[in-house]
Amino acid sequence: MKIVKYYKAKSYEPEKNWRRVSLCNQKDISIEHFVKPPKHSSPKHKHPNAQILIVLEGKLAVWTEKDGEVILDKYDTVYIERDEEHIVTNPLDEPSVGIDIFVPGRPFDFWLKNKELLK
């Protein structure tokens, strides 16, 4: 068993106020808690991991080329296929909070290693 205490977990901000916390970082699965600032969008990106996104607070908009933009409310979930380009946006004027689950696990430093996407 591996226990992660939230306030002792690894964390970073890929961009100002976009906070990510590693809740599980294993080869077969990784789980990240995130706070997305008001009106913030991740850049269009993809990764070789399937992703499940769960909205815990607020709203999030998820865009894919195949499905366009879908608005997710509190407790809604979306499955994003591996290698599917997508954008996640907080449409609100206040922070939104969620959980990302990646299978297989995605390296926690994904955004640090892909800073060119953030420009």
| pTM summary value | 0.94
Total domains, the chain: 1
Give residue 116's identity as a one-letter amino acid code: E
Distance CA 63, CA 70 (A): 6
In this predicted structure, what is the pLDDT of residue 117?
79
Residue 101 in any domain: the answer is yes
Give a yes or no: residue 49 inside a domain: yes
Give the mean pLDDT of the chain: 96
Q: What count of residues does the chain have?
A: 119
- Mind listing the pLDDT tens digit for each residue in 8-51? 999 999 999 999 999 999 999 999 999 999 999 999 999 999 99
CATH number, domain containing residue 56: 2.60.120.10
pLDDT in tens, 60-81: 999 999 999 999 999 999 999 9
Q: In what order do the strands lie in the sheet with 18-25?
A: 11-15, 18-25, 30-36, 96-103, 50-57, 77-80
Residue 32 lies in a domain: yes
Q: Does any domain span residue 3?
A: no
In a domain, 11, yes or no: no
Nearest to 25 by CA among 113, 115, 102: 102
Element (H, E) at 113: helix 110-113
Cα separation values, 86 from 63, 78, 89, Å: 5, 12, 10
Domain around 36: 17-118
